[in-house]
């Protein structure tokens, strides 16, 4: 009896954990991989978001630019979640949680990325300083 | 036999580079530039160009006949490939493209040795020595770690084939064009080092360097433009710029070279910005080398892959450190001995060009940072992605103000000017910018960057021609026409980019035969889908009839292709071009229910991006022709009066007053 229960439990667990996998891999093609949402506003929000998500299987392409099956699955995920009412930021956070920062092309200020934002600021300051120094000496005195 | 001839020619070229280096160095040490070996320097450079061409043509021949006993051919080619792709496959791989690299470098060195006679002999010797020194490193790299002529002991029956994405006419032209630009900048590097070593940073030096930089820059511009269009139609999703590290690698030398061209103008006309010009000369080619390192070391696929097989990467990295570091050391030692040069006030042509230089350098800094930063963090096992959402707005911080200054700058006089003098054209351009800004912002709900881009493009399109106002057009120097045309090209390209991102319409559907698809003003009908076969692929082709706004129907036949050596699927898109944009149609796979995935984009004015790029290059070409004609005239004048001290100055770009 105990073994039967264990087996049932195992089956049940397998079913639970396999469900998302099946949704991804064994239902080709995911409906929204190559199809747009009906609501233009939602589709637009999804498109803008997809253009900032990295296709993890490609070299430097967003999931909006890729034929890779994984990119198709991710497009499907993004569109279905947007349609279900999630905001683009929530979808992005969910994907980042799942795949890491690497999936987002839009780096957020963090302990690892701060130089990306400080350096342009410094460039503005430094450029301004250079300009001021170059032309600070008036042509009149020459 | 042919492979051995090629390899021998390469070794001989390297030996000649040693001779050129020694002779050039000896010449540069002598006060008049004449030393025992120095007479051999120019012939050594010219002969090197010839020998490298032989090596390169040998490799082309080996690919043409598909000589599978050569390792490179066996790995990258296939006897069943169309001839054009056999030929272009020569540079579609690491070793071949590095051979193209050194060949272009030798040709550039040979050309300056052959025809450049305006500089003091001493500076020229130092320049050619620097050119040989850089070339030597790359000969060593090619021969020691990337020998393209290596033979196989066992000859395979068939080759591995070429990546199908590269089996396109784009590969025939894009890399050679880009490489001529990339490596042509080595001349600017060598001139800068030569001038530093001999302390000869003068307006004359800038005039000598300018046409060479201009020529390299023209090729670079065409190469980047063509590369962008190639990616656009080959990848099948309508994107034309991905901020991919490989793309950035070609953009960075372009940004530096563009800045260099403008600062060289200041040096040539006004003897100002001396150290700055030298610095940019060094940076431009340094960026070419950084790009080569990024693309050729394998570091982009993964930092860790690079660490596992670091031979090639470390070699190029070593060369980078040696050349860039060496040049910067020379710069640091000599920069303080170069006087600042002439002064100028805030409102002057020089002032505007300084803004151009700072903005372009800052954009270069951002692109470099955004490209290298992910590699840096990956080395510490933190993976981040830097992409369009970063590059676009951060780059725009510098690019958009630069465009504003660009409208005004060419109208200003050298040294010192008043805004009140040019108030009318400035007011006109300002009105146009504001009108478009308000109009577009009110009419449509589109992104702020696109709105600003459209407005500035409109203003610049008019303002770029203002320098011709009130001038005798036929007597206006070609260089001025070139400048106006290139600046107009910037406006056209900017307009295309902004319009595409603001007004693009996308339609992704699963369609059955007979279905009607609408996107923007276009209506298309899927008539049939049929199979087809080429020399090394099979395809499914969708046959569509599409009309614009109820007009006559046009055919569109996008294909989904399957190549079999190597196995790969690609999209051959159908493009319907109108004056106001392009319809982009791609077909994907068949779904289980028998419907076909169709992807359609209506991209208003997207073609303006590449028209703009071509106009920029054409403007450069006009300026180059103008400069060369001017030089020839002055040379004739110089021999007529035989008095070098009283050469008339080259007419510099100056607005009519």
Instruction: Give the Cα separation of B2 and B57 in Å (integer).
Output: 10
A58: which chain B residues are within 8 Å (Cβ-Cβ)?
A: none
> CB-based contact (8 Å) between B388 and chain A?
yes
Pick from B237, B345, B354: which is nearest to A66 by CB? B237
User: CA–CA separation, B371 vs B245, rounded Å?
Assistant: 6
**CB-CB under 8 Å, B345 with A139:** yes
Q: Nearest residue on chain A to B240, judged by CA atoms?
A: A65
Cβ A103–B385 below 8 Å, yes or no? yes
Strand order in the sheet with B581-590: B505-511, B596-604, B581-590, B574-578
Q: pTM for the full model?
A: 0.90
Give the pLDDT band (50/70/90) at residue A137.
low
Residue A30 pLDDT > 80: no
Contact state of B398 with A127 under an 8 Å Cβ cutoff: yes
Q: What are the tokens at B116? A: 């450049």
What pLDDT score does B278 carry? 92
Which pLDDT belongs to residue B309? 64
pLDDT of B334 reads: 85
Question: What residues have CB less than 8 Å from B358, skipping those under 6 apart?
Answer: A127, A130, A131
| Sign of the CA dihedral with B272 first, then B276, B278, and B280 last | negative
Predicted-assembly ipTM surpassing the 0.90 threshold: no
Cα(B239)–Cα(B222) distance, rounded to whole angstroms? 18
The answer to whether the beta carbons of residues B556 and B517 sit under 8 Å apart is no
- C-alpha closest to that of B527 among B502, B557, B551, B507: B557
**CB-facing half-sphere around the CA of B212: CA atoms within 13 A:** 29
Find the range with the poorest average confidence among A18-27, A41-50, B324-333: A18-27
A134 contact residues in B (CB cutoff 8 A): 273, 351, 354
CB B346 within 8 A of CB B415: no
Q: Which two tokens stand for residue B644?
A: 């070098």
Residue B338 Cα, gap to closest chain A Cα (Å):
15
Sign of the alpha-carbon torsion through A117, A121, A122, A126:
positive
Residue B589: list chain A partners with CB under 8 A: 29
The nearest alpha carbon in chain B to A120 belongs to B366
Q: Rounded to an integer, what distance in angstroms lies between the CA atom of residue B464 and that of residue B161? A: 48
Asked if residues B186 and B288 have their Cβ atoms less than 8 Å apart, the reply is yes
Number of Cβ within 10 Å of residue B414's Cβ equals 20
Q: How far apart are CA A7 and CA B547, in angstroms?
A: 62
Whether A123 and chain B come into contact, CB under 8 Å, resolves to yes
Please state the φ and ψ torsions of residue B416, each to the nearest 5 degrees: -160, 135
- Using only C-alpha atoms, chain A has a radius of gyration, in whole angstroms, of 24
The second-level CATH assignment, the architecture, of A31-106 is: Orthogonal Bundle (1.10)
C-alpha B64/C-alpha B79 separation (Å) is: 9
Give the separation between CA B567 and CA B184, rounded to whole angstroms.
Answer: 37
Q: In this structure, are residues B190 and B116 in contact, taking their beta carbons and an 8 Å threshold? A: no
Residues of chain B predicted below pLDDT 70 = 301-309, 638-657
CA distances from B365 to A61, A124, B57, B271, B394 (A): 23, 11, 38, 26, 11
pLDDT on residue B553: 92
Q: Phi, psi at residue A53, to the nearest 5°?
A: -110, 135
| DSSP helix/strand/coil, B523 | strand
Alpha-carbon torsion, ordered B203, B207, B209, B213, to 10 deg = 130
Query: If pLDDT is split at 50, 70 and 90, which confidence band does A136 have?
Result: low
Q: Does A35 contact B510 at a Cβ distance shorter than 8 Å?
A: yes
Distances (CA, A) of B539 to B243, B286, B606: 30, 43, 28
Q: Is B603 left (phi over 0), alpha (psi -120 to 50) or beta?
A: beta
Q: What's the pLDDT at B62?
A: 94
Which residues 97-116 of A are in CB contact (within 8 Å) with B? 100-107, 112-113, 115-116
In degrees rounded to 5, what are phi and psi of residue A54? -85, 135
The pLDDT assigned to B650 comes to: 47
Comparing CA positions, the residue from A12, A45, A35, A38 lying closest to residue B510 is A35
Average pLDDT, chain A: 76
Domain boundaries, chain A: 1-30, 31-106, 112-142
């Amino acid at each position: 009896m105990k073994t039967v229960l264990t087996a049932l439990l195992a089956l049940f667990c397998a079913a639970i954990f396999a469900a998302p996998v099946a949704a991804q891999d064994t239902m080709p093609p995911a409906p929204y991989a190559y199809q747009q949402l009906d609501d233009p506003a939602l589709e637009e929000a999804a498109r803008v978001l997809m253009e900032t998500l990295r296709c993890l299987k490609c070299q430097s392409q967003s999931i909006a630019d890729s034929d890779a099956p994984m990119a198709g699955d991710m497009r499907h995920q993004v569109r279905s979640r947007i349609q279900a009412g999630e905001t683009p930021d929530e979808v992005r956070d969910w994907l980042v949680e799942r795949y890491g920062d690497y999936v987002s092309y839009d780096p957020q200020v963090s302990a690892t990325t701060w130089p990306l934002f400080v350096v342009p600021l410094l460039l503005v300051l430094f450029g301004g300083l250079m300009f001021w120094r170059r032309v600070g000496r008036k042509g009149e005195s020459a | 036999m042919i492979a051995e001839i090629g390899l021998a020619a390469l070794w001989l070229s390297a030996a000649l580079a040693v001779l050129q280096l020694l002779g050039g160095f000896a010449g540069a040490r002598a006060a008049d530039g004449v030393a025992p070996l120095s007479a051999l320097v120019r012939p050594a450079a010219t002969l090197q160009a010839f020998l490298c061409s032989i090596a390169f043509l040998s490799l082309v021949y080996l690919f043409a006949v598909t000589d599978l006993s050569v390792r490179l051919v066996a790995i990258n080619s296939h006897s069943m490939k169309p001839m054009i792709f056999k030929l272009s496959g020569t540079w579609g791989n690491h070793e071949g493209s590095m051979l193209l690299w050194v060949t272009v470098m030798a040709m550039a060195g040979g050309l300056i040795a052959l025809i450049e006679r305006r500089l003091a002999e001493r500076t020229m010797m130092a320049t050619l020595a620097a050119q040989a020194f850089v070339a030597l490193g790359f000969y060593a790299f090619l021969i020691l770690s990337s020998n393209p002529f290596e033979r196989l002991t066992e000859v395979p029956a068939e080759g591995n084939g070429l990546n199908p994405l590269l089996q396109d006419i784009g590969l025939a032209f894009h890399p050679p064009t880009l490489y001529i630009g990339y490596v042509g900048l080595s001349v600017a590097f060598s001139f800068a080092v030569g001038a530093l070593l001999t302390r000869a940073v003068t307006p004359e030096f800038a005039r000598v360097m300018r046409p060479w930089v201009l020529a390299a820059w023209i090729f670079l511009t065409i190469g980047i433009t063509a590369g962008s269009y190639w990616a656009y139609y080959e990848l099948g999703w309508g994107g034309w710029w991905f901020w991919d590290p490989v793309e950035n690698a070609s953009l960075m030398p372009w940004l530096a070279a563009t800045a260099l061209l403008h600062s060289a103008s200041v040096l040539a006309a006004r003897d100002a910005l001396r150290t700055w010009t030298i610095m940019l000369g060094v940076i431009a080619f340094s960026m070419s080398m950084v790009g080569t390192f990024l693309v050729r070391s394998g570091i982009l696929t993964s930092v860790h892959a690079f660490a596992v097989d670091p031979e090639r990467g470390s070699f190029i990295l070593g060369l980078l450190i040696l050349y860039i570091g060496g040049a910067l050391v020379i710069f640091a030692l000599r920069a303080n001995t170069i006087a600042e040069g002439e002064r100028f006030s805030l409102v002057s042509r020089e002032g505007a060009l300084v803004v151009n230089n700072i903005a372009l350098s800052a954009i270069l800094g951002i692109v470099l940072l955004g490209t290298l930063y992910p590699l840096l963090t990956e080395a510490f096992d933190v993976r981040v992605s830097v992409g369009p959402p970063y590059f676009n707005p951060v780059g725009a911080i510098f690019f958009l103000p630069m465009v504003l200054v660009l409208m005004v700058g060419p109208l200003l006089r050298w040294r010192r000017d008043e805004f009140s003098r040019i108030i009318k054209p400035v007011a006109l351009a300002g009105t146009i910018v504001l009108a478009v800004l308000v109009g577009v912002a009110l009419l449509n709900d589109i992104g702020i960057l696109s709105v600003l881009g459209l407005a500035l493009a409109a203003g610049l399109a008019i303002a770029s021609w203002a320098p011709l106002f009130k001038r005798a057009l036929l007597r206006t120097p070609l260089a001025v026409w070139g400048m106006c045309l290139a600046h107009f090209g910037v406006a056209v390209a900017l307009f295309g980019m902004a319009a595409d991102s603001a007004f693009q319409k996308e339609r992704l559907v699963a369609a059955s035969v007979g279905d009607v698809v609408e996107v923007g003003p276009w209506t298309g009908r899927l008539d049939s889908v049929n199979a087809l076969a080429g020399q090394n692929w099979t395809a499914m082709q969708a046959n569509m009839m599409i009309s614009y706004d109820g007009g006559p129907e046009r055919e569109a036949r996008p294909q989904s292709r399957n190549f079999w050596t190597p196995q790969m699927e690609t999209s051959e898109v159908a493009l319907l071009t109108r004056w106001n944009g392009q319809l982009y149609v791609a077909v994907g796979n068949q779904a289980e229910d028998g419907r076909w995935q169709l992807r359609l984009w209506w991209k208003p004015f997207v073609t303006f991006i590449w028209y703009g790029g071509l106009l920029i290059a054409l403007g450069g070409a006009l300026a180059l022709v103008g400069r060369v004609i001017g030089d020839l005239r002055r040379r004739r004048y110089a021999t007529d009066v035989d008095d070098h001290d009283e050469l008339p100055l080259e007419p510099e770009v100056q607005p009519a007053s």
